[in-house]
Amino acid sequence: VNMTAYISISTLLYEYMEENNGRIICVSSMAGYSNGPYTSIYAASKHGISAFFENWRTELEMHKSDVSITVCILSLVATKSAMTAVKDILLESTIKRAANPN
């Protein structure tokens, strides 16, 4: 749903946006460009959003379209669920750095 909703809605409304100098703004994540444990589905959906809209933007520019596309790539946002998901990873990383300071 994460990726397909963005694509479905944007392509459905494309003609209207073309007629009205529309703007497409979507939110993706650095997770789409990196790897980490327990994030494969989330990362794949965010990579899909970035890849689709960055490529579509190039196609629209080639056709001199008035529709613009902005992809916002966010980093980790300190929400409760995000912090819960990464706390063990961060703890392990901190312990390794403390054990091997060089």
Per-residue pLDDT tens digits for 24-81: 999 998 888 887 777 888 889 999 999 999 999 999 999 999 999 999 998 877 778 7
Angle at Cα 7 formed by Cα 4 and Cα 11, nearest 5°?
Answer: 140
Tokens 């916002």 correspond to what residue? 72
Two structure tokens written together for 77: 């946002």
Active site residue 14: no
Alpha-carbon dihedral sign for residues 98, 77, 32, 65 = negative
Instruction: Calculate the alpha carbon distances from 32 to 50, 73, 99 in Å.
Output: 8, 9, 30
Instruction: Give me the catalytic one of 6, 33, 38, 42.
Output: 42
- pTM equals 0.72
